[in-house]
Amino acid sequence: MAGKSVAELQLRDVKLGQLPKWLASCNFSPGSIFKAMQRGRNRYHAKYVNVVKPGVAPVGQFIAVFILVSYIWRYKGEKSHRLSKYHW
Amino acid sequence: MFSRVVLRNSAALSNVVLRTAGPSIAAAPKMCLLHTSNQKSMPYKMPEHGGKVRLGFIPEEWLQMFYGKTGVTGPYMFGFGLVMYLINKEIYIFGPETVHATVAIGLLVYTIKKFGPSIAAYADRQREADLVQAYSSKNAELANLAEAIEGEKKEQWRLEGRSHLFDAKRENIQMQLELEYRERLQQVANSVKGRLDYQVDVESLRRRMEQQNMVQWIEENVLKSITPQQETAILDKCLTDLKGLAKA
């Protein structure tokens, strides 16, 4: 019965035409944003961290995200170290 | 007793009530959080393993999305293509940071692959030890209670045997009475026999004394009655008899 109205669908099930309607039905107050972040964190933890035998996933993912975000922050300064100015 | 406890604290002790009504304690698992037969009210149980990841950080679900359309090599081709695009367009720039990243990531992978399993085994052992310690008091209590139940059952069985005990004691006493009675009978018989023996002895003594007296008196009188001429006549006869015998 979930998803009888657009507001109750999850984002992965929302079709492209329904997207504005779905966004309009969202609650963007700080409290609900915080709760949404908490839900995301809990989902991640339930899947990878709060298990009997966690694997390398939290460590590897943290390192990957660290590398990615630090490179994005450095990109502006690294652009001047390019080997060639024009690329195909 | 348990109903009173339940009435005092309402829902929290429903598990205790269920426990007393449930299956036998000896068959319950040893490391169970709650001994309740109502499985729906059990708290959240942690899954055994987390979500799978490929290469240490890519979740398997993302790769599954490729498999339907492109087959098994799809995600690797995508990754390769993405990496080549970034390098060719110099969105990713090779520099000293690249060397640093290569060395760091190489070391990290080597360390994790080499020492990961042993550290994981150590952590598992610690967890098991903690669990055992946490459940030890509860299991000890359960064992105590089971022992108490066994003791109670034994006491009940003993109680049933009490009537047999009294029967045995009664028989014992009766046997003792019988023994005493027979002993006293024997005593009576012995004493009666003693008295009769006494009478017999007295009688035999009297007869012996009479006999002795009579014999002695007879001998005396006979010896007295032998006159001297009779004595010589007897002696002569004896001599002639002897002579006659010597001749023959």
**What pLDDT digit, counting tens, does each position of B110-138 carry?**
999 999 999 999 999 999 999 899 889 88
- Map chain B to HEC letters: CHHHHHHHCCCCCHHHHHHHHCCCHHHCCCCCCCCCCCHHHCCCCCCCECCCEECCCEEHHHHHHHHHHHCCCHHHHHHHHHHHHHHHCCCCCCCHHHHHHHHHHHHHHHHHHHHHHHHHHHHHHHHHHHHHHHHHHHHHHHHHHHHHHHHHHHHHHHHHCHHHHHHHHHHHHHHHHHHHHHHHHHHHHHHHHHHHHHHHHHHHHHHHHHHHHHHHHHHHHHHHHCCHHHHHHHHHHHHHHHHHHHHC
d(CA A59, CA A49): 10
Q: What is the mean pLDDT of chain B?
A: 84
**Which residue type, as a one-letter code, is found at position A50?**
N
CB contact under 8 A, A55 and B112: no
Grade residue B31 by pLDDT with cuts at 50, 70 and 90.
low
Question: What pLDDT shows up at residue A71?
Answer: 94
Q: Which of B52, B55, B90 has its CB closest to that of A87?
A: B90
Q: A44 in contact with B at a CB cutoff of 8 Å?
A: no
Chain B, nearest residue to A52 by Cα = B48
Residue B166, C-beta contacts closer than 8 angstroms, at least 6 positions apart = none
- pTM assigned to the model: 0.55
Over pLDDT 90: what percentage of chain B? 52
Chain A closest CA to B87's CA: distance in Å?
11
Q: What is the mean pLDDT of residues A15-40?
A: 88
B residues 100-129 closer than 8 Å to A (CB): 101, 105, 108, 112, 116, 120, 124, 127
More confident residue, A67 or B25: A67
pLDDT at B108 over 80: yes
ipTM: 0.77
**What's the half-sphere exposure (Cβ side, CA atoms, 13 Å) at B217?**
6
Q: Which of A52, A57, A83 has its CB closest to that of B90?
A: A83
φ, ψ of residue B49 to 5 degrees: the values are -120, 155
Question: What pLDDT shows up at residue B216?
Answer: 94
Question: What pLDDT shows up at residue A3?
Answer: 58
